[in-house]
Structure 1
Amino acid sequence: MNLSFFDQFSSPMIMGIPLVMMATVLPWLLFPNPTNKWLNNRLSTLQIWFLQKFTKQLMNPLNTNGHKWAMIFTSLMVFLITMNLLGLLPYTFTPTTQLSLNLGLAVPFWLATIVIGLRNNLTAAFGHLLPEGTPPLLIPILIIIETISLFIRPLALGVRLTANLTAGHLLIQLIATATLVLIPMMPITATLTMFVLLLLTLLEIAVAMIQAYVFVLLLSLYLQENV
């Protein structure tokens, strides 16, 4: 029974083609295309307002050189939010519950920030490995610790997103299964369990959006250290 709970995280395949490829392309088809009309509809206006607010909040702490990443970060944010929210629908697959996909997003972006730091200011990039005013005896230990923490960053990005979404999906499935079992035996308890399931679903919607924002925000902080 426990194995069936984890079947939702295995990528389904049709004719040998993994559907995770289709799931990563589908979010982009759901957004309206810009038009040449003077007046946009309500959906396009709301979308433009959200993207402007998010981009402004994300780019304000960065230097002018970091503003070149605005389009990349905004696109990544929209992509992650859409995939996370679509994964909450019944009979759907959530690609962001796969650690391989999340690491495939985290490692190249993290590596790009490191390369930018090494190219623009080599001294400052290596200066982050040693805090100012460190006692001489602690210098080798702190350099090793900071180097390890630097290389752990992409792993932490991918694991954080995967763990939060996986835990939420498992809780929803466990409570939903308990509700179905309790309905014929204890209807009152099943009603309370269904109410808990509704609250958990609302919480997961918030988690899906927050985790996408945290993923992009941490990438922007890594970029801020190197520009």
Structure 2
Amino acid sequence: MTLNLFSQFASPYLLGVPLIFVASISPWLLLPSPANRWMPNRLIAIQTWFSKTFTKQIFSPIGPLGHKWALILTSLMAFLLTINLLGLLPYTFTPTTQLSMNLGMAIPFWLATVLIGFRNQPTASLGHFLPEGTPTPLIPILIIIETISLFIRPMALGVRLTANLTAGHLLIQLISTATLALLFSSPLVSSLTFITLLLLTILEIAVAMIQAYVFILLLSLYLQENT
């Protein structure tokens, strides 16, 4: 039973080709490119409005040096949001349930923010490891703690996204299995579990959007700290 539950998170193959690549490319095929027209269609207008609103909200507290990240973080937000929502459809695969993929996105962006901090403001970046006014006996301990907290940030980014999406998918599968199992033996209980399944699906849609936003928000906070 456990193997059957977790088999949904294994990357499927078609003719020896892992479909995780197809699932990762599909969001970019669904997002339209801006057209060279005076009046864009509704989809492009919504996409443009979302990009402007998201960029204004995320980058308003960040200095001018961090505004260069607007395009890449907005694109990453659209990618995560689309791929998380597509993973809720039946017979689909969610690449963001793979810890390796999430760490592959979190580590390079986190490392880039750290390197930018050491290049632009090395004194302030090194000052994070040792707060001002620290007693002398606590200096080695605080340096070790701050170093661990710095290197654990990409792990927290990847594990948070993976754990939330994995838990939601497991709950949906468990409740849907219970709904089918109780359909003939106890229709009343089955209808109640079906209502619970609908509510959980709505919650999982919200979780998919919130986790994509939290991933980008934490990256913007790291960027704000180093610019």
User: Is the TM value for this pair above 0.5?
Assistant: yes
Q: CA deviation at 1:37?
A: 1.2
The one-letter amino acid paired with 1:46 is: I
Q: CA deviation at 1:138?
A: 1.2
2:60 matches 1:60: yes
Match of 1:144 in 2: 144
Bigger drift between 31-40 and 51-60 goes to 31-40
The one-letter amino acid paired with 1:144 is: I
The one-letter amino acid paired with 1:197 is: L
Deviant stretches of 4+, over 4 Å: none
2:8 matches 1:8: yes
Match of 1:93 in 2: 93
Bigger drift between 187-196 and 31-40 goes to 31-40
Q: CA deviation at 1:23?
A: 0.7
For residues 212 and 135 of structure 1, the distance between their equivalents in structure 2, rounded to whole angstroms, comes to: 40
Map 1:75-86 to 2 at 5 A: 75-86=75-86
For residues 178 and 117 of structure 1, the distance between their equivalents in structure 2, rounded to whole angstroms, comes to: 51
Match of 1:110 in 2: 110
Please state whether the residue corresponding to 1:11 is helix, strand or coil. coil
Q: CA deviation at 1:16?
A: 1.6
2:178 matches 1:178: yes
Match of 1:71 in 2: 71
Contiguous gaps of at least 5 residues in structure 1: none
For residues 179 and 191 of structure 2, the distance between their equivalents in structure 1, rounded to whole angstroms, comes to: 8
TM-score by length of 2: 0.98
Match of 2:126 in 1: 126
Match of 1:29 in 2: 29
Q: CA deviation at 1:34?
A: 1.1
Match of 1:18 in 2: 18
Bigger drift between 180-189 and 134-143 goes to 134-143
C-alpha distance after superposition, 1:138-196 (max 9, x if no partner): 11111100000100000110000000000000000000000000000110111010000
Please state whether the residue corresponding to 1:34 is helix, strand or coil. coil
Instruction: State how many pairs are aligned.
Output: 227
TM-score by length of 1: 0.98
For residues 75 and 55 of structure 2, the distance between their equivalents in structure 1, rounded to whole angstroms, comes to: 10
Q: CA deviation at 1:19?
A: 0.6
Q: CA deviation at 1:46?
A: 1.3
Match of 2:50 in 1: 50
Please state whether the residue corresponding to 1:6 is helix, strand or coil. helix
For residues 114 and 66 of structure 1, the distance between their equivalents in structure 2, rounded to whole angstroms, comes to: 13
2:222 matches 1:214: no
Q: Percent identity over the alignment?
A: 69
The one-letter amino acid paired with 1:99 is: L
Q: CA deviation at 1:133?
A: 2.1
Q: CA deviation at 1:132?
A: 2.1
C-alpha distance after superposition, 1:189-221 (max 9, x if no partner): 110100000000000000000000000110111
Match of 2:193 in 1: 193
C-alpha distance after superposition, 1:88-127 (max 9, x if no partner): 0000000000000000000000000111111111111111
